[in-house]
Amino acid sequence: MRNPSYFRFIIIFLSAITVFATSFTHGEELEFSEYELKAGFIYNIAKFVEWPDKKTADTKKIINLYVLGSDPFGRILDQITGKKVKGKILEVKHIRSPKDLRDCHMLFISSSEREKLPDILESLKDSNILTIGDTNGYGQQGVIINFYMEQKKVRFEVNTNIAKRAKLSISSQLLKLAKIIHSE
Amino acid sequence: MIKLHFSTNLPELSRYFQIALFLLLFVMFSIMGDNAFGAGQISAPSKPAVTDLTIEQLMTIEVATVYSASKFEQKITQAPASVSIVTESDIKQYGYRTLADILRSMPGFYTSYDRTYTYAGIRGFSRPGDYNTRLLLLVDGHRINDSIYDQASIGTEFILDVALIDRVELVRGPGSSLYGNNAFFGVINVITKQPQSFNGFEVSGSAGSFDTYKERATYGKKYANGFEMLLSGTNSNSKGQSLYFKEFNTPANNNGRADSCDYEKYNNLFANMKYRDFSLQGAYTSREKGIPTAYLGTVFNENRTRATDERGYIDLKYNKALSENTHIKARGFYDYYNYSGNFLFDYPPLTMNKDVATGKWWGGEFQLTQNLFEKHKVVMGMEYQDYFLQKQRNYDENPYIQYFTETKSSYTWAAHIQDQFSILDNLILNAGIRYDYYKTFGGSTNPRAALIYTPFEKTTIKLLYGQAFRAPNAFESYYNDGNVTQKANPNLTPEKIETYELVLEQYVKNYRFSASGYYYRVKDLINLYTDPADSLLVFRNIGKTESKGAQLKIEGKWSNGIEAKASYSIQETIDKETGRSMTNSPKHLAKLNIFSPLISKKLSTGLELQYTSSRRTFNGDSTGGFVIANLTLLSREVIKDLEVSGTIYNLFNKKYGDPVSNEFRQNIIVQDGRTFRIKFTYRF
């Protein structure tokens, strides 16, 4: 045997992983994770937004939520998929590029798309899509709803100019809970 | 001559690898069994579904873990250095296979390959035979340079599969004020992908020229309770090519052809786990490479001459924001390195000479980041590393003769402080200093200062000054062959560098432009020298160099998805001993990268052009300049979740070579002509 020490190294390494992994994946979940809460927010926000008639006519019974980029929610969005929002069913779809968004109502833009954001928003200029993000600076750049954390609680900012440009009407009930920002 | 086929030596390696993979899979499934498919994913009945809560209720709930947006990430324009970044999408778009491919695309960076290791060149400095000791290589903040040769491995011997890389940052200039040893010409910071970016399984397979195959399996997930895990294993095998070396063109040497000597086999394991403020990371790689070049005067066309490198580490981090203004970071790690070289000489008789080195070390680090009076951001840190085993040995197998053996240990500690002072809204002073203590030679103090001025929103000017050091490594201090040709010099002191740099960065609409000029002065370079007293080779602190250069870069992005970047560097490095420019130092480097979607986002193409001007070899010849073109076609989502890419490297089959050290009979080692790779990646 050439050098048994590296075999020992692997054994130590894997045992450490096993101990670390098993001790943390077990246990009760009594709290909500950040993204569970954000999923709850997205579901609730959908109730407070009115899309232009043309858009809702296209997709009578469905509200489509698209996720662009690497998905931070994991399976959490399953919890809101298929739920009813004002009589319509919420559907979730993952996409890798902002093409073919005709029937999209809400678009969650992952922080992985940070560098491409200006291009993405440019391509959405004339659409009626409620853009959603959770990355520092997205709001100022023109994402309509942007989540941020404040003392471990989820907060959100609303870019009202862009919402107006997208012909979306956002209920004042929602706006009073938000930090209002403007861009341009 | 009896020729052993190389694979006879492999079962031993692959057996361990198989056991390791088996254990890895066992861990993977035991975790998933409990969690992904079990109760972990579904909310406990005691907890209401998020859809049952009103938005007002949601606003009052505290989250268990905060992942996004809380981390401090410095904007590139505020960094106190000239920085280049290559991201995961560049790696896909241009078909990069190794870290060396990634680095070579960056302005002013070049590489050379002696068909065993890949050598980095930056700012016109790349001494043949130097194992990248003057660059610090970090993976998620963990030091990769080993404890014997200080090698920053950037070729296939690099510890990670490049598919796990989120981005690579090259920070040019001295970084010793923050990082200590090896951060001499720059720091390469490799940041791995978040486990959640895989969100399940990913398998990938590729095939390329000369029977090169590579397979990878990765599992990454963020669980509902905030636990994140990434596990990945890679295996690669290449038969390599039959190579012709004109220096060996005699009938006794198979007319200069080295057949089946260029083989390569490697594997990588990587695991990363995060929970709350903790993260545990482990990595391991083992590579065996045939040496086809008759390096050191070994027998030509003989596939038993080969090098095997192994590197592994475990790193546990704790990262915590104590308040909005105070962050702490603590780390502990264990590292392992092993090298084994088999060299077949014909003394006569044919004799296998073995060169072996093993390094083991552990260490810890503590860092505090504190914001003070709104205008200061102070980073303070301490570090300790215990190199408890540094073992080197050289011997003949049969008849057994030991020429050299040395077992050493060493330790270092360091303390550093850095302050980012916002003097005005648009003027930042970034200053830092670090003291490193070495058991071997004593201390080294290295300061750095940067003025960062933003006169207009889209313009940044940086004025940079810095010093750095490189400690003599165990190989340079202790290696000898029993005073036959080489003797040890345990009294070596660190190499030192002093640098000045001016950087301008400018954004105009969708373009980014940057220009920089620099002046570097290096002294006490550790050179191999022949002592006139006894005619023995010995390392001495005698070298001095002076470099100056400039670099221009322009980048553009357009809304139709087209991206392009171009750069040009001019550089000159003078060896003050000889008054001539250094070997393996091209005066001009130019790069062009263009990426364009072809059919929406489903099919895209990336074209890369790289020009390297002529380089001087150690005996005064020149390699001649060359242009290399690489073309990649990338297809995504034609079939759901499947990504296919094909790359042709050296599209125009340009013949070129890299200068190598005087340990070769060749001055120049010929590089690959046109080669290809096709790669499939599937997610589920």
Surface of A (21-80) touching B: CB under 8 A: 21-22, 24-34, 36-37, 39-41, 43-45, 48, 70-72, 74-76, 79-80
The CA R_g of chain B, rounded to the nearest whole Å, is 26
Q: Do A33 and B58 touch (CB under 8 A)?
A: no
pLDDT in tens, B294-324: 998 999 999 999 999 999 999 999 988 887 7
pLDDT averaged over every residue in chain A: 80
- The chain B residue lying nearest A111, using CA atoms, is B68
Interface probe with A: pick from B58, B267, B317, most Cβ of A within 10 Å: B58
Q: Where are the domains of chain B?
A: 6-683
pLDDT in tens, B500-518: 999 998 877 778 889 999 9
Which of chain A's residues have a Cβ under 8 Å away from the Cβ of B35? 25
User: pTM (2 decimals)?
Assistant: 0.74
pLDDT in tens, B193-202: 988 888 889 9
**ipTM value:** 0.77
Alpha helices by DSSP H, B255-407: none
- The CATH number corresponding to B6-683 among 2.60.120.650, 2.40.170.20, 2.60.40.10, 2.30.110.10 equals 2.40.170.20
Distance to chain A for B224, nearest Cα, Å: 6
Q: CA–CA distance from B585 to each of B7, B556, B581 (Å)? A: 38, 29, 7
pLDDT higher than threshold 60 for residue B19: no
pLDDT in tens, B591-610: 999 999 888 768 999 999 99
Question: Using CA atoms in the order B472, B476, B479, B483, what is the torsion angle rounded to 10 degrees?
Answer: -120
Interface probe with B: pick from A12, A17, A38, most Cβ of B within 10 Å: A17
Whose CA is closest to B403, among B451, B462, B347, B473? B347
pLDDT in tens, B110-145: 999 999 999 999 999 998 878 999 999 999 999 999
Q: Do B61 and A27 touch (CB under 8 A)?
A: no
pLDDT higher than threshold 70 for residue A24: no
Which of chain B's residues have a Cβ under 8 Å away from the Cβ of A158? none
The full set of domains in chain A, from first to last, is 34-181 (3.40.50)
Q: Do B284 and A177 touch (CB under 8 A)?
A: no
Share above pLDDT 90 across residues of chain B, in percent, rounded to a whole number: 60
Contact (CB, 8 A) for B136 and B324: no
Interface probe with A: pick from B14, B55, B276, most Cβ of A within 10 Å: B55
DSSP B14: H
- Following DSSP, what letter does each residue of B242-260 receive, concatenated? -EE-GGG-SGGGGGGEE-S
Helix pair angle (A5-25, B11-34), 10° resolution:
10
